[in-house]
Chain A
């Protein structure tokens, strides 16, 4: 089983609240990711990091922000939650790979299901 942990697993909050979704991994992986997943839809990459002090926006525009101060920790923050932010958020990590082929197995946390009322 992968050593990557997300908290909280479930969160129900009101509009306008600030929330932080926590993600930690103990595998020493350089690369970490946040994905958004809605029922019946593919995973969409919203943020990724290649290492400490490195963060990039993914393919899906998101109002959330991330930070990577420590290798093992990659939290996601929403300053002002809205109902449109209701979704499942999955954190993942992988080993740094270079060159071809990129085998890049992703190790996922169990997800944080966010509901904004």
Chain B
């Protein structure tokens, strides 16, 4: 069964600290993996996309990694800011069809305290 599991479910850190969010998936065949950020009361916004051949990709203070062998991805946030408080959702796409199917994780709720 294709699934996407995220951990931790929630996380509280102090402003300026780093944190790492995890995403494990069983989706096969794999096409790509995206991390989305969803602010409270808003729609999700894509942060980064990882394809099969990519190991690491950065977007400002966000760095995503992908280990396609172990089917794990992580999102590392450096020097956290209050505006990083949000839900971070891992979304994996398969390539069973030309248009792909998306599998969503339940998200990690990150709270950054001053």
Q: Are B99 and A43 in contact (CB under 8 A)?
A: no
Q: Which residues of B contact A102 (CB under 8 A)?
A: 31-32, 93, 95, 98-100
Q: Are A98 and B99 in contact (CB under 8 A)?
A: yes
A110 to B44, CA, bound (A): 8
Distance of A92 Cα from B34 Cα, bound (Å): 15
User: In the complex, A102 Cα to B29 Cα: how many Å?
Assistant: 12
Check A41/B106 contact, CB under 8 A, given A102-B99, A105-B46, A106-B44. Answer: yes
CB-CB under 8 A from A4, the residues of chain B are 43
Interface residues of B in 29-56 (CB under 8 A from A): 31-32, 34, 36, 41-46, 49, 51-52
Contacts of B46 in A (CB 8 A): 105-106
Contact A101–B43 (Cβ < 8 Å):
no
| A66 close to B (CB within 8 Å) | no
With a cutoff of 8 Å between Cβ atoms, the chain B residues found around residue A99 in the complex are: 98
B52-105 CB contacts (< 8 Å) to partner A: 52, 89, 91, 93, 95, 98-100, 102, 104-105
> In the complex, what distance in Å separates the CA atom of A42 from the CA atom of B51?
22
Mark out the residues of chain A between 58 and 117 whose CB falls within 8 Å of any chain B CB in the assembled complex. 90, 92, 97-106, 108-111
Specify which chain B residues have a CB less than 8 angstroms from the CB of A2 in the assembled complex: 43, 45
Chain A residues lying within 8 Å of B42, measured Cβ to Cβ, are 110-111
Question: In the complex, what distance in Å separates the CA atom of A40 from the CA atom of B91?
Answer: 15
CA distance A22 to B106 in the complex (A): 25
Q: How far is the CB of A81 from chain B (nearest CB, A)?
A: 21
Q: For A105, list chain B residues within 8 Å (CB).
A: 34, 46, 49
A45 within 8 A of partner (CB): yes
Across-interface contacts of A100 in B (CB, < 8 A): 31, 95, 98
B51→A101 contact, CB < 8 A: yes
With A40-B106, A41-B106 given, is the CB distance from A104 to B100 under 8 Å?
Answer: yes
Cα distance, A97 to B52, chains bound together (Å): 18
Q: How far is the CA of A47 from the CA of B98 in the complex (A)?
A: 18
| Residue contacts A-B, CB under 8 angstroms, 14 given | A2-B43, A4-B43, A43-B89, A45-B102, A97-B99, A98-B98, A101-B95, A102-B32, A104-B93, A105-B46, A106-B36, A106-B102, A108-B43, A110-B41
